[in-house]
Structure 1
Amino acid sequence: MRTGTTARSIAVTGAALLALTACGGGDEDGGTTDAGGDTGGGEKQVNVYGTDGNMGNALGESFTTEGALAGMRGTTPLTDLGTEFQERLLAVDPNLQDFNYSAETYDAIIISALASVLAGSTVPTEFAPYINGVTFGGEACDSFSSCLDIINAGGNPDYDGVSGPLSFTEPGEPAQASFGILEFGQDNALDEGQTTFEISGDEGNAATDEGPAPAAPGTTSTDPLVIGTLLPLTGNLAFLGPPEVAGARLAVQEINEAGGVLGQEVQLIEGDSGDASTDTASQTVDRLLQQNVDVIVGAASSGVSLTVIDAITRAGVVQFSPANTSDQFTTYNDNGLYFRTAPPDTLQARALSDLIINDGNNTVGIMALNDPYGTGLMENTVANLEAAGLSADSIETLTYDPQAANFDAEVQQMVEFNPDAIVVIGFEESARIIEALNAEGIGPARS
């Protein structure tokens, strides 16, 4: 699947090092920056990178000083959504500021619905074995209605998702994925003109088992497919909630406009995941299970999913995350009921390390949120940086408590290490870390 993917607006970053100053070019006395980060005027310019947990316009809203984030770059699972899909999302929620994980949420529901049609059943344990096969082999299609036409004609659909290449592996996750390389502008908002795309992973690693023989075309059911959502309406990932909710609503709307699943309209029951510091997710899962949902779409946080995955899968319900990236899920004992459209950290780490290396950095400090997402992405990034040629002593890592009163000790550790680049892997607390880095003269802002 996706043999033409790499032609879709993808530019692998190979630009020279971005050595940012107050003017975005040379330093104040006219020096220039070489690939090691030293300027002709003697001031070392540190490059700051983020990842999907903080590379959104919501981060910029925490800053009032112009240029506080200017030039900060980072990676996030993202494909070139195009204006048409964004307009469909905006019709659902006109107030969207970001589109992160909207497509992954949309695709999770489309795939679930197609699997249910292929199985001729809305029973989760009966349609789950078809989920992987929806994403590879067969005849290519890119919408629920076009895939449904293939099924009704007795064919085998190969759904090419809005979120980029899918081609699920045996554990139910993308074998390859598209990542956006994003950059903040002087106004502390993402500069869309600077966004490029990179494919990471190998489609050849996709599974080969497409599931049992499909049900006869035209099979109907008296039970509707019920989708529950476990998405961050509150907590430190609440900025991801609106695009994910819009993606879920759009998918259900378009499925029902195409005739629904097995003769019934799909039902959507929404719920809040909160974050890992609360029991909101457990309460929501209990409620959704009592309402007999067939699929729970979420959570966004890997840490939150780890607190509820057993309750969901042991109940015989499919869990389908649009944003979990921890590689713990690849081998998790999930009874064959956990899937994700978000790529595992092993893929994002490749894209992130490529960005760092291509920018010419020789020493790298990594500050990571102490949870499965943060530590997993950090460890995989370190492995990729070392594979690219950086020595172990040229990389400094630390984890932090997102609930800490301040991050002075962690920032001081970065000051003492004096790296060419600093990577911040976190959520909303990243704003306080970056403020502290700026105060020490090693953040994105330049005086």
Structure 2
Amino acid sequence: MRTRTYARSIAVTSAALVALTACGGGSDDSGGGSGGDASGDAEKQVNIYGTDGNMGNALGEDFTEQGSLAGMKGTTPLTELGSDFTDRLLEVDPALQDYNYAGETYDAVIVTALAAQAAGTNDANVFKAYVNGITAGGEKCDSFQACLDIINAGGNVDYDGISGPLAFTDAGEPAAASFGLLQFGDDNALDNDATEFVIAGDEANATSDEGPAYAPAGATGGPLVIGTLLPLTGNLAFLGPPEVAGAKLAVNDINAAGGALGAPVQLVEGDSGDASTDTATQTVDRLLQSGVNAIIGAASSGVSLTVIDAITGAGVLQFSPANTSDQFTTYNDNGLYFRTAPPDTLQARALADLIIADGNNTVGILALNDPYGTGLAENTLNNLVSAGLSEDDIVSVTYDPQAANFDAEVQQMVDFNPDAIVVIGFEESSRILQGLNDQGIGPQR
């Protein structure tokens, strides 16, 4: 749950606004334009939106009837990934269906290794002071090898990664981020040709503190050991494969460049499960006992909140590729928590702009009751109000993702009869969407 006001300026660039307008439909967009009854007699098509927790091809696998998700739009932190990167990910895992958060995971590992090299130690309590500066100021570089060359030449690096320019704030998170505006086709798979990219946030809010002076060039030390806390099981398991592939590819690239601190980086893998289990706690205990210096994960904000104290309290760095809850912006983490994923305040702006650009005047929000769902729902509502809707135009409902069914929540949307419905959830989203379809207010066409 959101507990503090996020006090940074948030702006969508003019280029992003153009992209949003281009992706929006208005009353002429049959694939997801304005809600409403153009004829005055026909049943209106309600526009359905999702977010990063469900906007993936894995969602479509739960539907067999063609068109069940057709026209459903949504947002996810995503940059336009080059084929070189995706091809190399497929070499790591040929079965990948999506690439969600693969770039963010890759960058989290690379930044961790660069910070350790710059500090000249694998002690996270020392190299944590270098992390933000690795992403801002200094000489631009876009690979571990290129950045390592700068460090070894006595220079200062500014790593621009696969997931974007990064440009961390003092809180250890991106000041600006790229978001993909995604859309499902008639085959219930994401239509890649319909994807647009927008930027939310402002790099001007990045840190001005480039960190302490670097250790001497070629500094060596104990091996850097990185653990992963990624969803191999649970309601975010569909995010596991691209994140695991991103971590493995990053370690491969680091070690191909000679490793960090003069030795190969070691990777210890672990499952985060989800917030309904104690899998993450057990994994963290095992990772800490194995002597990791940093843990990449978790993906779920709710899961991270259950283990962040244990990780940072042990003097180990935690670096999430997918946490978006804005609670982490001001969390008391001993300066040891970072994330390559942007906070919900940024995604909410991109999502609200998409909804408004599509001409929707009334909006229903269905959000799972956890830090991710409630935070993103609240921020989206606030942005919709800022864009001109009144609070009476919006109904926001939270649900228990472990509930036997979601009939009551779906009925609330039926009664409200909005132009648009936003579903903020994980794997249970398919059951909610099926319920909306059954009531004639889902994405089905």
Give the TM-score normalised by the residue count of structure 2.
0.94
| Distance verdict in 2 for CA 1:9–1:390, change over 3 Å | closer
Q: Is residue 163 from structure 1 mapped to residue 138 from structure 2 by the alignment?
A: no
- Secondary structure in 2 aligned to 1:14? helix
Q: Is residue 14 from structure 1 mapped to residue 16 from structure 2 by the alignment?
A: no
**Corresponding residue of 1:198:** 198
Contact 1:226 1:267 in 2 (8 A): yes
**Corresponding residue of 2:7:** none
Q: Is residue 294 from structure 1 mapped to residue 301 from structure 2 by the alignment?
A: no
**Corresponding residue of 1:49:** 49
Q: Is residue 283 from structure 1 mapped to residue 282 from structure 2 by the alignment?
A: yes
**Corresponding residue of 1:133:** 133
**Corresponding residue of 1:349:** 348
Deviations, residues 28-54 of structure 1 (Å, cap 9, x unaligned): xxxxx9845213143211100000000
Shift of 1:165: 2.6
Separation in 1, partners of 2:342, 2:92? 26
Q: Is residue 387 from structure 1 mapped to residue 386 from structure 2 by the alignment?
A: yes
Q: Is residue 371 from structure 1 mapped to residue 378 from structure 2 by the alignment?
A: no
**Corresponding residue of 1:406:** 405
Q: Is residue 329 from structure 1 mapped to residue 321 from structure 2 by the alignment?
A: no
| Distance verdict in 2 for CA 1:379–1:92, change over 3 Å | same
**Corresponding residue of 1:30:** none
Deviations, residues 67-100 of structure 1 (Å, cap 9, x unaligned): 0000000000000011111001001101100000
- Secondary structure in 2 aligned to 1:296? strand
Unmatched 5+ residue regions in structure 1? 1-5, 27-32
Deviations, residues 96-155 of structure 1 (Å, cap 9, x unaligned): 000000000000000000000100001110101000000010100000000001101100
State, as a whole percentage, how many aligned pairs show the same letter. 72
- Secondary structure in 2 aligned to 1:53? coil
- The residue type equivalent to 2:92 in the other structure is V
Contact 1:19 1:47 in 2 (8 A): no
**Corresponding residue of 2:263:** 264
- Secondary structure in 1 aligned to 2:356? helix
**Corresponding residue of 1:144:** 144
- Secondary structure in 1 aligned to 2:318? strand
Shift of 1:197: 0.1
Contact 2:230 2:299 in 1 (8 A): yes
Shift of 1:19: 7.0
Matches within 5 A, 1:159-238: 159-221=159-221, 223-238=222-237
Separation in 1, partners of 2:81, 2:88? 11
- The residue type equivalent to 2:261 in the other structure is L
Deviations, residues 385-443 of structure 1 (Å, cap 9, x unaligned): 11111001000000000111110000000000010000000000000000000000100
| Distance verdict in 2 for CA 1:7–1:17, change over 3 Å | closer
**Corresponding residue of 2:396:** 397
Contact 1:316 1:337 in 2 (8 A): yes
Say how many residue pairs are matched: 432
**Corresponding residue of 2:420:** 421
- Secondary structure in 1 aligned to 2:384? helix
Aligned-residue Cα RMSD (Å) equals 1.8
- The residue type equivalent to 1:425 in the other structure is I
Unmatched 5+ residue regions in structure 2? 1-12
Separation in 2, partners of 1:412, 1:372? 24
- Secondary structure in 1 aligned to 2:21? coil
**Corresponding residue of 2:8:** none
Q: Is residue 310 from structure 1 mapped to residue 309 from structure 2 by the alignment?
A: yes
Contact 2:166 2:176 in 1 (8 A): yes
Matches within 5 A, 1:66-145: 66-145=66-145
Contact 1:226 1:293 in 2 (8 A): yes
Separation in 2, partners of 1:140, 1:35? 43
| Distance verdict in 2 for CA 1:7–1:416, change over 3 Å | closer
- Secondary structure in 2 aligned to 1:13? helix
Deviations, residues 348-393 of structure 1 (Å, cap 9, x unaligned): 0000000000000000000000000000000000111111110010
- The residue type equivalent to 1:59 in the other structure is L
Give the TM-score normalised by the residue count of structure 1.
0.94
Shift of 1:17: 3.0
Separation in 2, partners of 1:11, 1:237? 32
- The residue type equivalent to 2:388 in the other structure is G
| Distance verdict in 2 for CA 1:144–1:8, change over 3 Å | farther
Separation in 2, partners of 1:35, 1:326? 29
| Distance verdict in 2 for CA 1:249–1:8, change over 3 Å | farther
Deviations, residues 227-271 of structure 1 (Å, cap 9, x unaligned): 000000000000000000000000000000000001100000000
Contact 1:9 1:196 in 2 (8 A): no
**Corresponding residue of 2:252:** 253
